[in-house]
Amino acid sequence: MNIETKQQHVEATMRLAPVIPVVIIDDARHAVPMARALVAGGIPAIEVTLRTPAALDAIRAIAAEVEGAVVGVGTVLTAKDLHAAEQAGARFAVSPGVSPNLLAAADNSALPLLPGVATASEAMNMLERGYRHLKFFPAVPAGGTKLLGAWASPLPQIRFCPTGGISVATAKDFLGLPNVLCVGGSWLTPGDKLKAGDWAGIEQLAREAAALRG
């Protein structure tokens, strides 16, 4: 699969819903009911971050058992991360930044990558490599809507998924920018609701997120 085909897959994933939940999961047993609640609420693309030992098992379970879910992997730092996520059934990968080794691994992997950038120079470097869809991270600390909006004119080819510090209250500000397709947010799957098994609560948060582009 060449870079352009993989970019088309990334774009399709970014257009599934206004928000991609960024999930930190401690118990893989929560993965399937959580993902079903998100899908029921209108949020099919789910990024499970590699920040806990349960992450790969969670991805594997969602990929195997949750109809309608497009499960991806986040916090991808190395070639090993990328390979393990692909083996677990991830459909896309997200990284907080980029490195030469990670980009080389992505070139040799069938797993589409959404790489993170925080500066115009980084965005230009990624554009040179064929990446037209990027994660803007950390969105709020790096400059928020003002910086991202300022890139729209000089970098019109690029579409972003800003992530980092975004809440349900500020998501619409980002989604209103012409170069933003979706946002990433951790507010859809808060730790207290995961721990309590409050799947109805997560489904409600998903519904609210899905309505942000309405």
In angstroms, the CA 175 to CA 22 distance is 17
Of 47, 86, 146, 203, the active-site residue reads: 47
Q: Which residues contact 72 (CB under 8 A, 6 or more apart)?
A: 13, 20, 45, 46, 47, 48, 90, 91, 92, 93, 94, 114
Active site residue 6: no
Handedness of CA 35, 40, 46, 49 (dihedral sign): negative
Q: Is 68 left (phi over 0), alpha (psi -120 to 50) or beta?
A: left
Of 6, 135, 193, 203, the active-site residue reads: 135
What is the CA angle 125-24-208, rounded to 5? 90
Active site residue 135: yes
What is the CA angle 185-130-6, rounded to 5? 65
Burial of 85 (0-12, 13-18, 19+ CB in 10 A): buried
CA separation, residue 59 to residues 4, 12, 17 (Å): 25, 20, 19
Q: How many CB atoms lie within 10 A of CB 150?
A: 13
Catalytic positions are 47, 135
